[in-house]
Amino acid sequence: MFGFSNIHLFIALLILAVFNDSIMVSAHPSRAIKKRPSDTSSASRQRRLTRMTTEDQDAAFLAVVSANFKNAGPEPVYSGSIISPKCVLTYFDQLTEKFWEPTGQIVDGATLTAGVQSSARPTDIQTRFAPIANIVPFPGQTPESRNDVNSLFRNSMALVKVEQAFILGTGVKSIKIARNVGPSLLNVNNLGIYTHIITNKVTLAAATKKANASVEGVECPKSIPRYIGSVNTTVTSCVTVEPLDSSSCVQLPEGSAAVLRGSDDTLYLTAMTKGDICKTSPTTVFLGSSMAFSDHLDTICNEPDVDCAEAKYRFARRKLNAVLY
């Protein structure tokens, strides 16, 4: 039997043995804990890199273009395509002081918001500003008028040059311009429409996406209701859009992008939508400015860091239902 002092000595030796063993466990590599904190961090980083859906990564080139006012908050007016880190392609008319004069609003530039796809995180959102002097109309631009249908399409676009470059990555990207697709998109395979929707009518928050619709390139109509003149088919591209989740004609913001997915899986901007005709619900014909028109192509491709390329693609001889988001 242990005496009183021997018991205390035994306990002290036992504690010392346990303490020494714990030091050896933590110091010996083969007995160390397998899942280190850095492993967890690495896994989290990988999840963050892959958490955006493929569909939303495709839509990463699209920006919401808002008129910016001195005396009020920004108001979304167009979709726009990021064609370089510092340049967004969109339409011009509703970003002018003249357009807003009757409302009393004083335009001082444009606010451009990207990275707002449905699976994006708040950290993906990038908001940029372009003063009104940086909203550059295409050479030959004329005010839009019902007396001239082609004023909607010919040189009616603008290059919006942001003060701070977009940071390109998974959530925000630029898109290539197709040199060789159009103006007619008839029988062009694998077309889709990218656009934005207002998600909150109070705050005017918006999300970019690909339209859930079947898209087909068609010959342009000769005219548009309420506009005078014949549509110039050397300037204009047209598609039919049939929603897959509605029986009503589709409505798209102006500046929505008609995009070709090439045979090399690259996305190419071919046109931007401007006018529409709903003839037989739910199919809508959208007319827009063609990237292939020589004046448009020259203006866009002369901008720094814009990628204009020959698209690789195939023709289709039948209507194709593209998988759109």
In a domain, 47, yes or no: no
Work out whether strand 75-84 and strand 87-91 pair parallel, antiparallel, or are unpaired.
Answer: antiparallel
Containing 18, the helix (H) or strand (E) segment is helix 4-27
Q: What pLDDT, on a 0 to 100 scale, did the predictor assign at position 5?
A: 52
| Mean pLDDT for the chain overall | 85
In a domain, 38, yes or no: no
In a domain, 20, yes or no: no
Q: Which domain holds residue 89?
A: 54-309
* Residue with more model confidence, 131 or 32: 131
Q: What is the average per-residue pLDDT within 55-69? A: 97
- CATH number of residue 168's parent domain: 2.40.10.10
In a domain, 322, yes or no: no
Sequential DSSP letters for 19-53:
HHHHHHHHH-GGGS-SS-HHHHHHHHHHHHHH-S-
Q: What is the average per-residue pLDDT within 62-76? A: 96
Residue 249: pLDDT band (50, 70, 90) is confident
> What is the number of structural domains in the chain?
1
- pLDDT tens, position by position, 159-211: 999 999 999 999 999 999 999 999 999 999 899 999 999 999 888 889 999 99
Q: Is residue 235 predicted with pLDDT exceeding 60?
A: yes
Residue 304: pLDDT band (50, 70, 90) is very high
Q: What pLDDT, on a 0 to 100 scale, did the predictor assign at position 281?
A: 75
In a domain, 321, yes or no: no
Work out whether strand 213-218 and strand 157-161 pair parallel, antiparallel, or are unpaired.
Answer: unpaired
pTM of the model: 0.82
In a domain, 315, yes or no: no
What percentage of the chain reaches a pLDDT higher than 70?
81
In a domain, 225, yes or no: yes
In a domain, 72, yes or no: yes
